[in-house]
Amino acid sequence: MTAMKSIFIGGMAGSGKTAIALGLALKFRDQGLNVGYFKPLGASHGPHRQEDEDVILFQQVLSLPHDAATLSPVRTGPYYLSSGPRRDPAPLKEKLQQAYNTVSANVDVLLIDGSLSPYTAASLGLDAINLARMFDSTMLYVSRMEDDYSLDKTILYNELFRLAGIKVLGNIFNSVERTLLDKTKGVYAPILEEAGHPVLGIIPSRPEIASPTVREFYDALGGELLTEEGVGLERIVEEVVVGTMTTESALGYLRRAPNKAVITGGDRSDMAVTALETSTSVLILTGGYYPDVGVLASAIEKKVAVIMVHYDTFTAIERLHEITRRIHPGDEQGIRIAQTNISEHCNWQTILDEVKS
């Protein structure tokens, strides 16, 4: 084994960077390597949860000896520049370098988990390009394909990394929906490789790991949980339905949408009751209205969480854009799927060869 290698796993929010890092960490460990983890820029995931669950996840799975503040030394948020000290990046860069030196000691490979996006904290010089340079890392870029523009974005970032002098090991298309799987294999991947950017994996979407849970909705919305604490929060949410129509016109659609979140006004008890008669994972009641007792009784009986928020439906929908699926400590199924995805759908041997080179 040569000197320690670091792999920077970049991508946009929701691309599944952490799941890829987890799967690689477990695969490398199975190959006899001592694996470290580093998340330079952490982010808060809602008012109910202050600790970074990604860090806790890796602490537990890899039995890491470092505390959370070392594994993820700098926190950011949408308004991080409002804090005076954060306007001066020098102390932050020194803090990051010291933490990196600590977590990279005595490991064969260090997996660096990128921030929300490659451009996050660019105003401080702490974006993905500058961090990869700082840590002399090889880039592994993770994309989640939504449409043709997603490929354009992937190509552009690959070009930017290379122009910046960063070695790009390759790309992984992660959590590809069934309807886009053939196009990703037959169109997107060839175009990316023709542009000189290797494809190292195409991972099909699996709801168990791709769909967010009710807990993630609760954390992002910041509302009041009206049902029993902890009950129904681990259910997955595959679709979001906004219940603004009449119950008669909504019923057919509600029946067709499985494992859904239904957003409706707290004064729309008729819509809430109708939703609870179908496959609903969570009720989100807007406007600060408490529902009828009958709604809560039915939800409790069916173990469906009810979240009340004090803002309007439009604001609730806007906040849903922040929600992504996270693998939590103790989520044995999610951890197993992350490892299987690397083994079965990725050219992990190429990544391993880079680590050992």
Q: Tens of pLDDT along 258-284?
A: 888 888 888 888 888 888 888 889 989
| Identical topology for domains 5-207+327-356 and 214-320 | no
- Higher pLDDT, residue 111 or 253: 111
C-alpha to C-alpha distance for 56 and 350, rounded to whole angstroms: 28
C-alpha to C-alpha distance for 58 and 186, rounded to whole angstroms: 35
Section 334-357 average pLDDT: 92
Burial (CB count within 10 angstroms: exposed 0-12, middle 13-18, buried 19+), residue 311: middle
Fold of 5-207+327-356: Rossmann fold (3.40.50)
When pLDDT is cut at 50, 70 and 90, the band that residue 245 belongs to is: low
> How much is the mean pLDDT over the chain?
87
**213, 235 contact by CB (below 8 A):** yes
pLDDT for the residue 248: 65
Domain boundaries, the chain: 5-207+327-356, 214-320
Q: Tens of pLDDT along 161-219?
A: 999 999 999 999 999 988 999 999 999 999 999 999 999 999 998 876 667 888 888 88
CATH for 214-320? 3.40.1390.20
